[in-house]
Amino acid sequence: MNTNAAASGEFEYFDCQPAREDARAELLRALRATPKSVPAKYFYDQRGSELFEVITRLPEYYLTRTEMGLFERHATEIAEVVGRDCALVEYGSGSSAKVRRLLETARPTAYVPVDISREHLEQTARELHLDFPWLNVYPTCADITTEFELPAPVQELDKVGFFPGSSIGNFDPEIAAAFLKNVAATLGRGSHLILGVDRKKDASILEAAYNDTAGVTAAFNLNLLNNLSSLLQAEFAPENFDHYAHYDAAKGCIAMFLEATVEHEVVVGDERIHFDAGERLHTENSYKYDPDELEEVARAGSYEPVDMWTDAQQLFSVFVLRAQ
Ligand code: AVJ
């Protein structure tokens, strides 16, 4: 065996990380508004990315293991969708744990993990490249909610999108459709997207998944304040807030907040952000979709549903969509 040839995959890091100034402006706008909010992408500093990985292993957080079970059970069918000579582009790749089985089975030419968490991305992409030396790995640091360019080495290849974990649930449905349109434009007409989506179910199961007894989700939510402090050079104090998550049945999403326990102000540059006691800072929506609802969003996002798999308990679904 020619081990050199087997180990010839390239590794190159591409930086489209949003400017700190843009983040600052976006955050200040969201914090000045009523009600206050922070986009969910700001959870994922280094510590936040680590805490999210702990969440994925919690007994109450059925999402990750159920989705992994589906990827395992349908590995061959999914690999056929991916095919050999393509670039697999993962949106919000995090630890790149879910893609490994897919890479083994499908053996694409290139893998492009795209994530906003720079250090975490570089580190996990390097580890992955050690385990898949034949694969071209092009980690790309970018905000997936904005337009960004794919790395030059994959531009001529057929693309397949991978967006697992129900991260699409972070967007309101209209924004999800706009996001999908953007993905379709980037990956090209006729390209496939493999999409993992959490399903609607009993509110008690949903609420338990976002209020785990070990308190990891609370720590993840509260850690956002540390990232805010660092990005805004301010002192948001975690001890002044409580974690709060509930299922909003009307909207069909888990809504997550940081609730101020005392009235206080946080100095940011030359302004003061005032919090009343009991005031809630909105930090995340996590929409849940029945398959027909997701198909509607997909069509609005210029994707045609091709395939769908779900588990026996109908907790989670994996879709294959084709860009129109
Ligand atoms: C990564 C957005 C899919 O909504 O379930 C987990 C993030 N937030 N626990 C989700 C999250 C709180 C997660 N997503």
Same domain, 157 and 304: yes
In degrees rounded to 5, what are phi and psi of residue 287? -70, 145
Residue 174's DSSP bridge partners are none
Q: Please report whether residue 250 resides in a domain.
A: yes
Residue pair 61/212 in contact (Cβ under 8 Å)? The answer is: yes
Q: Is the shortest distance between the CB of 124 and ligand 1 below 6 Å? A: no
Question: 250 alpha carbon to ligand 1 midpoint, in Å?
Answer: 19
Question: Is the model's pLDDT at 4 over the cut of 60?
Answer: no
Q: Please report whether residue 254 resides in a domain.
A: yes
pLDDT band at 20 (very low <50, low <70, confident <90, very high): confident
* Residue range 246-270, pLDDT digits in tens: 999 999 999 999 999 999 999 999 9
Question: Is the model's pLDDT at 200 over the cut of 80?
Answer: yes
Question: 22 alpha carbon to ligand 1 midpoint, in Å?
Answer: 24
Average pLDDT, rounded, for the chain = 95
Q: Please report whether residue 9 resides in a domain.
A: no
Same domain, 123 and 77: yes
Same domain, 221 and 313: no
* Percent of the chain clearing pLDDT 90 (strictly above): 93
Q: Which of 205, 317, 181 is nearest to 254 (CA)?
A: 205
Question: Is the model's pLDDT at 2 over the cut of 80?
Answer: no
Q: How far apart are CA 66 and CA 312, in angstroms?
A: 10
Q: Is the shortest distance between the CB of 170 and ligand 1 below 6 Å? A: yes
Q: Please report whether residue 319 resides in a domain.
A: yes
pLDDT band at 18 (very low <50, low <70, confident <90, very high): confident
The predicted pLDDT at position 3 comes to 44
Question: 274 alpha carbon to ligand 1 midpoint, in Å?
Answer: 27
* Residue range 206-238, pLDDT digits in tens: 999 999 999 999 999 999 999 999 999 999 999
Question: Is the model's pLDDT at 5 over the cut of 70?
Answer: no
**What number is the average pLDDT over the span 175-194?**
97
Q: Please report whether residue 239 resides in a domain.
A: yes
- How many domains does the chain divide into? 2
Q: What is the largest CA-CA distance in the chain?
A: 68
Specify the residue with its C-alpha closest to ligand 1, atom 5.
286
Same domain, 171 and 313: yes
Q: Among the atoms of ligand 1, which is closest to the Cα of residue 284? A: 8
Q: Is the shortest distance between the CB of 210 and ligand 1 below 6 Å? A: yes
Q: Is the shortest distance between the CB of 166 and ligand 1 below 6 Å? A: yes
Q: Give CA 50 to chain center in angstroms.
A: 13
**What number is the average pLDDT over the span 111-132?**
95
Q: Which of 51, 52, 163, 257 to mutate to test the pocket of ligand 1 (most atoms within 8 A of CB)?
A: 52
Boundaries of domain holding 275? 39-46+203-287
Question: Is the model's pLDDT at 178 over the cut of 70?
Answer: yes
Q: Among the atoms of ligand 1, which is closest to the Cα of residue 254? A: 4
Specify the residue with its C-alpha closest to ligand 1, atom 13.
167
Q: Among the atoms of ligand 1, which is closest to the Cα of residue 52? A: 6
* Percent of the chain clearing pLDDT 70 (strictly above): 98
Same domain, 314 and 195: yes
Q: What is the CATH number of the domain that holds 108?
A: 3.40.50.150
Q: Among the atoms of ligand 1, which is closest to the Cα of residue 209? A: 9
Q: Which of 38, 42, 53, 55 to mutate to test the pocket of ligand 1 (most atoms within 8 A of CB)?
A: 55
The predicted pLDDT at position 7 comes to 65
Q: Among the atoms of ligand 1, which is closest to the Cα of residue 245? A: 12
Residue pair 234/76 in contact (Cβ under 8 Å)? The answer is: no
Q: Please report whether residue 179 resides in a domain.
A: yes
Q: Please report whether residue 283 resides in a domain.
A: yes
Q: Is the shortest distance between the CB of 94 and ligand 1 below 6 Å? A: no
Q: Is the shortest distance between the CB of 55 and ligand 1 below 6 Å? A: yes
Cα torsion angle, 152, 153, 159, 160, sign = negative
The predicted pLDDT at position 19 comes to 87
Same domain, 66 and 152: yes
Same domain, 156 and 248: no
Q: Please report whether residue 131 resides in a domain.
A: yes
Same domain, 316 and 229: no
* Residue range 278-301, pLDDT digits in tens: 999 999 999 999 999 999 999 999
Same domain, 77 and 166: yes
Same domain, 171 and 302: yes
Same domain, 306 and 170: yes
**What number is the average pLDDT over the span 117-138?**
95
Question: 167 alpha carbon to ligand 1 midpoint, in Å?
Answer: 7
**What number is the average pLDDT over the span 157-185?**
97
Residue-by-residue DSSP string for 195-262: EEEEPP--HHHHHHHTS-TT-HHHHHHHHHHHHHHHHHTS---GGGEEEEEEEETTTTEEEEEEEESS
Same domain, 166 and 310: yes
**What number is the average pLDDT over the span 126-145?**
96
Q: Is the shortest distance between the CB of 212 and ligand 1 below 6 Å? A: no
Question: 4 alpha carbon to ligand 1 midpoint, in Å?
Answer: 40
